[in-house]
Amino acid sequence: MKVITIKQPYASLIAEGLKRYEFRTWRTRYRGEILIHAGKGVDKEAMKKFECYHLEYPTGCIIAKAVITDCVYVDYTLRKMLQEENPLVYSGVVCDPSWDGYGFQLENVEKIDAIPVNGKLSLWDYPYEDN
């Protein structure tokens, strides 16, 4: 199954259903199931920003699965919609008009038991079997 590695706290925000888009400077044509890997990297400023959610932030493991249903260019309309949806989660770089990139729309997010594994860049494959 395809996997995407995401820094904490963003991986946990996705796993908890608080963040519906993952943002990248590159686009993907991939649509389908994907595993969410919480990388070993941590954004310490963002961790403070999201303390109010009282989440767990495991690192170095796969923590959720989801479905990429679309990859959309982040334009003014999407930025506005995201800021209205959740100003805390979407107040970062993606809402800066100078940032140029894409949002991978994630649906059917489901937390899974953590699977320790090293992450990789881009989309990568992991031999996951749904139990």
Tell me, what DSSP letter sits at residue 118?
A: -
pLDDT, residue 125, reads 96
What average pLDDT does the segment 33-41 reach?
96
pLDDT, residue 128, reads 87
User: CATH number, domain at 36?
Assistant: 2.30.130.30
Query: pLDDT tens digit string along 90-125?
Result: 987 677 788 899 999 999 999 999 999 999 999 999
Range of the domain at 21: 2-118
Report the domain count for the chain: 1
The b-or-e profile of 9-22 (16+ CB within 10 A means b, else e) is: bbbbbbbbebbbbb
Residue 51 lies in a domain: yes
Mean pLDDT for the chain overall: 93
Of 24 and 98, the one with more pLDDT: 24
Instruction: Give the β-pairing of 102-116 and 21-24.
Output: antiparallel
Q: What percent of the chain has pLDDT over 70?
A: 97
pLDDT interval class at 40 (50, 70, 90): very high
pTM for this predicted structure: 0.93
- Give residue for tokens 């996997």: 3
Residue 35 lies in a domain: yes
Residue 126 lies in a domain: no
Residue 129 lies in a domain: no
The b-or-e profile of 48-61 (16+ CB within 10 A means b, else e) is: eebeeeebebebbb
Q: Where are the alpha helices (DSSP H) in 6-122?
A: 10-15, 44-49, 76-85
Residue 131 lies in a domain: no
pLDDT, residue 98, reads 84
Residue 82 lies in a domain: yes
Residue 101 lies in a domain: yes
pLDDT interval class at 126 (50, 70, 90): very high
Instruction: Using alpha carbons, select from 58, 57, 65, 56 the residue that is nearest to residue 3.
Output: 65
What average pLDDT does the segment 10-24 reach?
96
Residue 125 lies in a domain: no
